[in-house]
Structure 1
Amino acid sequence: MLDPIIAFFQRVFAAIGRGIGMVVAWLLWPFLAAHGWYRDRTWVIKGPILAVLFLLVVVYGQFIYRTQVWHGFDPAFVQAYKFDERTVSAGAPLPGEANRCQDSAVVTTAAALTDQNVNQNSWISSTLLYKLGLFGLDWDNTPYMDNKASFQRGVNQVVRRTGIQLADNLGRVRGTSGINNDLQDARGNLQFDESTWYFGTDPFGFKTPTPSYYRAAVESWTRFNASLATCESVFDARSDNLLQLLDGMASDLGNTSDILRRRSEEFNAGWFDTRADDRFWFAYGQLYAQYALLQATRADFSGVIRERNLTVIWAGMETQLQAALRIQPAIISNGSEAGWIMPTHLATMGFYILRVRSNMVEIQAILDR
């Protein structure tokens, strides 16, 4: 009775095995043919081919290392600067020290974040292999090699915004004094295109790569902080400047939240959404940078925060950021919010972003009274 059934399944599995064998043979045929051709060549031909293959292995090995190994990644790295031990706001004279003023924690942190991006790590977006893509397909459109680049761009977005605030408001007295040259240079360098390599076609010719401009911004911020420490520059730690700084951060979070929402609603593909990881790690990079800068901002504007009784709500905002930064899944899934198999990391990140933004808006409302 069971023999026909057993025979049927045997035929089915045999057919599946033959099909798999044909697919594997089809995939391996070019390599086997190339091996046969290569075996019959002389070393005059074999040598250059081996050299090219070796070069490709080295170059792509380096590329994989650069994209997969994250140096200096630590959401709590700012704590090493001990900003909470400072007793006066940025730019204020240090008690008991003649001609010495408190330097800016915001400037220190912005420089540290940029240093992580371009000195401790390679700036991925402007490397040649990243620009070439996967057989011409943009790496951002694949699930591979793009998480670090997205994270770096998210960090850079926040640092760029901060650089503008430093040059236009924080480094001037009520916006009426001249713009500090170092802060102006840093702002200009940070606005440079994120994907420029040593050579390009638009316009055609050799170019200065992106990381060089960002390194110059770090140097400019370092010079500014040195002059601020000797009371030669100013840092205007007023409540309206704090309000504008938070307004820029909240605006960025609102835009990112909308990007996550649209991706979550329009591309519900779970683990198979190849762009979900880009959106997630860009948002993560923004929160990573904002968490660091908000701790620095608390130190630089310590007088305003005490006077406006913002200590408790500020601590709550930092706690929300800490919770968001603990979300570090190995594989990003953009599943349905009502699903039970595939998680929805984008919606979860968007939820935390909105909570942080609501705290910022509440602080802005208090400052605006």
Structure 2
Amino acid sequence: MLDPIVNFFTWMFQWIGRGLGFLIGIIAWPFMWLGRWYWGRGWILKTVGGAALLVIVCLYGYFFYVTQFWTGFNPDYPAALAQARDNVAAGDPVGTAAGTQTGAATQGSGQPAQSCKPSAIAGLSADLIDFNVNRNAWIPSMIVSKMGLFGIDWKDTPFFDNKAAFQLGINQVMRRTTTELVDTLGRVRGTSQIDQNLQDARTALAWNETAWYIGLRGPTRPTPSVYREAIAKLRAFNASLEKCQSTFDARADNLMQFLDRIAGDIGSTSDILRQRIDASDAGWFDMRADDRFWFAYGQLYAYYGVLVAARSDFAAVIAERNLTNLWTRMESQLRASLNVQPWIISNGSESSSFFPSHLATMGFNLLQVRSNIVELRSVLDR
């Protein structure tokens, strides 16, 4: 009685084997043809072709390596900043400079030089950009990232695009943050002169995210080298602020506007996730789900640090408006959302028992964080 069942499964696996063999044959045929053509050429062409092939293999090998190993990735990276909390706002005097206790720095009157609290937002932003382009290779502008997998864009494959999406998510937050530093936080009520260091940092981060050494218009600067200028400018702003020579306007209305911008940015990303959820329910076979997920994860990763830093910069406002408990809850939920790190991203039906919907989970986390930010904003607006 079991013979028909055994025969059925035997027949099924035979056809699966034939199908896989046929697919492998299609994939391997161009390489076999190229190999036969190559070995039939002269030694000069073989040498040139072999050298070109070696370069391509090395480029792809390096690309595969840097996309799989994430140096410095740590969801608890703002922990040191969180432990050093006080009630002094960024830009406010904090006493004498470090070196004045030994008489090393004095003003013209002979009094110790004043020191102001640097901006945690600016300092952490510089660190995140450093994480993106110095501690890790900047994936989106690498030549192999542009070449794709045999001409197929990496985002349309399940391979090697997660880190690039994560970096772009962080960079989106850095662009938003530097814009707010230039327009509101780094000047008095929008009427004072724009801080040139912050302006230069914003301009640098506006550079094309995928620029290589050669572009459509000829030679150009690669993205990482330009972003490194933003690091220097943000740290120069903090150095100037620490000497009380720059401005950080830590007012309640500025914090409220900053939270508004963050809430809008997070809301836009959650809408992108919803569109992808509606467009596909292919589960683990959705080729675009992973880059959508890791872009959103990169945003949450960066905003977690930025909001911890904002608590330091706006310490006086948060204490005055009794926002400490609300802010702590928001930070806790943000940190908890970073624990969602599935090995394979699935975009299944939200009612599926077998294919989870990681995009729906990420979307829920985004909206939860946004809800907390809106609540903080409403308290500030009273």
Is the TM value for this pair above 0.5? yes
SS in 2 for 1:108: helix
Shift of 1:23: 5.3
Partners in 2 of 1:24 and 1:179 — Cα distance?
60
Alignment of 1:248-263 (within 5 A): 248-263=261-276
Residue 103 of structure 1: aligned partner: 118
Match of 1:326 among 339, 342, 350: 339
Shift of 1:195: 1.2
- Mean CA deviation greater in 11-20 or 68-77: 11-20
TM-score of the superposed pair, with normalisation by structure 2: 0.89
Shift of 1:87: 4.5
Mapped pair 1:69 → 2:69: yes
Shift of 1:35: 4.8
Residue 84 of structure 1: aligned partner: 84
Contact kept, 8 Å, 2:273 with 2:360, in 1: the verdict is: yes
Shift of 1:117: 0.9
Residue 365 of structure 2: aligned partner: 352
Between the aligned residues of both structures, percent identity stands at 54
Contact kept, 8 Å, 2:141 with 2:222, in 1: the verdict is: yes
Structure 1, residues 239-267: CA drift from partner, whole Å, max 9, x if none? 01111111111000110111111111221
Matching residue's letter, 1:152: Q
SS in 2 for 1:95: strand
Alignment of 1:132-143 (within 5 A): 132-143=147-158
Residue 145 of structure 1: aligned partner: 160
Mapped pair 1:310 → 2:323: yes
Shift of 1:196: 1.2
Residue 237 of structure 2: aligned partner: 224
Shift of 1:91: 0.5
Partners in 1 of 2:162 and 2:4 — Cα distance?
53
Residue 214 of structure 2: aligned partner: 199
Residue 304 of structure 2: aligned partner: 291
Contact kept, 8 Å, 2:96 with 2:114, in 1: the verdict is: no
SS in 1 for 2:329: helix
Residue 171 of structure 1: aligned partner: 186
Match of 2:222 among 196, 201, 209: 209
Judged with a 3 Å threshold, the aligned counterparts in structure 2 of structure 1 residues 13 and 261 are, in CA distance, closer, same or farther, namely closer
Matching residue's letter, 1:134: L
Matching residue's letter, 2:291: D
TM-score of the superposed pair, with normalisation by structure 1: 0.92
Shift of 1:53: 2.5
SS in 1 for 2:90: coil
Shift of 1:120: 1.1
Shift of 1:299: 0.6
Contact kept, 8 Å, 1:270 with 1:334, in 2: the verdict is: yes
Contact kept, 8 Å, 2:95 with 2:114, in 1: the verdict is: no
Structure 1, residues 199-238: CA drift from partner, whole Å, max 9, x if none? 111xx21111222221111111111000111111111111
Residue 186 of structure 1: aligned partner: 201
SS in 1 for 2:257: helix
Alignment of 1:37-52 (within 5 A): 43-52=43-52
- Mean CA deviation greater in 9-18 or 311-320: 9-18
Matching residue's letter, 2:161: D
Partners in 1 of 2:163 and 2:28 — Cα distance?
32
Contact kept, 8 Å, 1:167 with 1:187, in 2: the verdict is: yes
- Mean CA deviation greater in 93-102 or 81-90: 81-90
Judged with a 3 Å threshold, the aligned counterparts in structure 2 of structure 1 residues 314 and 51 are, in CA distance, closer, same or farther, namely same
Judged with a 3 Å threshold, the aligned counterparts in structure 2 of structure 1 residues 269 and 301 are, in CA distance, closer, same or farther, namely same
Residue 138 of structure 2: aligned partner: 123
Partners in 1 of 2:226 and 2:96 — Cα distance?
38
Residue 281 of structure 2: aligned partner: 268
Contact kept, 8 Å, 1:83 with 1:296, in 2: the verdict is: no
Contact kept, 8 Å, 1:254 with 1:357, in 2: the verdict is: yes
Matching residue's letter, 1:125: P
Partners in 1 of 2:177 and 2:5 — Cα distance?
71
SS in 1 for 2:62: helix
Judged with a 3 Å threshold, the aligned counterparts in structure 2 of structure 1 residues 2 and 151 are, in CA distance, closer, same or farther, namely closer
SS in 2 for 1:72: coil
Residue 161 of structure 1: aligned partner: 176
- Mean CA deviation greater in 104-113 or 71-80: 71-80
Partners in 2 of 1:138 and 1:26 — Cα distance?
20
Count of aligned residue pairs for this structure pair? 367
Matching residue's letter, 1:211: P
Contact kept, 8 Å, 1:83 with 1:299, in 2: the verdict is: no
Matching residue's letter, 1:78: P
Unaligned runs of 5+ in 1: none
Contact kept, 8 Å, 2:212 with 2:220, in 1: the verdict is: yes
Structure 1, residues 271-321: CA drift from partner, whole Å, max 9, x if none? 111101111001000000000001101111111000001000101101111
Judged with a 3 Å threshold, the aligned counterparts in structure 2 of structure 1 residues 69 and 350 are, in CA distance, closer, same or farther, namely same
Contact kept, 8 Å, 1:125 with 1:194, in 2: the verdict is: yes
Structure 1, residues 310-350: CA drift from partner, whole Å, max 9, x if none? 00010110111111100000110001111000000000010
Judged with a 3 Å threshold, the aligned counterparts in structure 2 of structure 1 residues 57 and 88 are, in CA distance, closer, same or farther, namely same
Partners in 1 of 2:8 and 2:323 — Cα distance?
75
Matching residue's letter, 2:62: Q
Matching residue's letter, 2:91: G
- Mean CA deviation greater in 192-201 or 290-299: 192-201
Matching residue's letter, 2:349: S
Contact kept, 8 Å, 1:83 with 1:105, in 2: the verdict is: no
Judged with a 3 Å threshold, the aligned counterparts in structure 2 of structure 1 residues 17 and 210 are, in CA distance, closer, same or farther, namely closer
